[in-house]
Amino acid sequence: MRIVSMRNTNPTMLAAALITGMWMGCGDAATEDGPVDLDAGAETTATERLPCNVETVLVKRCQECHTAPLANGAPFPLVTYANTQAEYFGEPIYERMRVAIETDFMPPDPREKLPPDERATVLDWIADGAPSAAPGEACP
Ligand code: HEC
């Protein structure tokens, strides 16, 4: 909300948003699908986090490399919820995680592949649309 009101008080940004909306020629749809989505992403980064069971697997099996700063040639971090929602080659990273796990591409050799329970934890979460943790969920 704070980001939106800052934009509204900045004449240049407001004008740019209006012009972009006019160019796209989508009326209300441009308002919903354009700038508003960017604001939603910013809020995701600030407030939402990984479910505990998913985070546990990522910490144990992925963050040796997918960490910040990146290690061992990994191309992106898998530390925060926002990391999993970012895009990599035009797809949400959680979707790339699904393929990488299903094909046993990740964790890479010679690391142990995910045991069945941990595999199910991550794949079930992705099948549900990779939601953030329930509000107030406390990790053990
Ligand atoms: C030992 C280091 C290491 C570990 C552990 C590791 N990764 Fe990776 N990961 C890499 C490297 C290096 C690449 C780049 C490989 C490439 O593109 O050829 C990569 C690439 C990826 C990609 C992108 C693949 C694509 O092109 O779509 C995904 C998704 C991914 N890893 C997910 C995971 C997940 C999930 C885990 C844990 C279950 C994991 N990785 C564990 C090193 C690691």
> Is any ligand 1 atom within 6 A of the Cβ of residue 62?
yes
Ligand 1 pocket test, pick from 59, 62, 109, 123 with the greatest ligand atom count within 8 Å of Cβ, gives 62
Residue 34 lies in a domain: no
Q: How far is the CA of 1 from the centre of ligand 1 (A)?
A: 35
pLDDT band at 138 (very low <50, low <70, confident <90, very high): confident
Number of domains, the chain: 1
80-104 confidence digits (pLDDT tens)? 999 999 999 999 999 999 999 999 9
Residue 82: inside a domain = yes
Identify the band that residue 44 occupies on the pLDDT scale cut at 50, 70 and 90.
Answer: low
Q: How far apart are CA 122 and CA 117, in angstroms?
A: 9
Domain that holds residue 119: 49-131
What average pLDDT does the segment 49-62 reach? 97
Q: Indicate whether 3 belongs to any domain.
A: no
What is the structure's pLDDT at 93?
A: 98
* 81 belongs to a structural domain: yes
Q: Is residue 54 in contact with ligand 1, taking CB distance under 6 Å?
A: no
Residue nearest to atom 1 of ligand 1 (CA): 65
CB 70 within 8 A of CB 107: no
Q: Is residue 96 part of a domain?
A: yes
Whether 72 is in the pocket of ligand 1, judged by its Cβ within 6 Å, is yes
Mean pLDDT of 2-23: 43
| Assigned domain for 15 exists | no
Per the domain annotation, does 29 fall within a domain?
A: no
pLDDT of residue 73: 97
Closest CA to 97 of 51, 61, 52: 61
pLDDT digits (tens, 9 = 90+) for 30-39: 334 434 333 4
Mean pLDDT of the chain: 78
In a domain, 9, yes or no: no
pLDDT of residue 36: 37
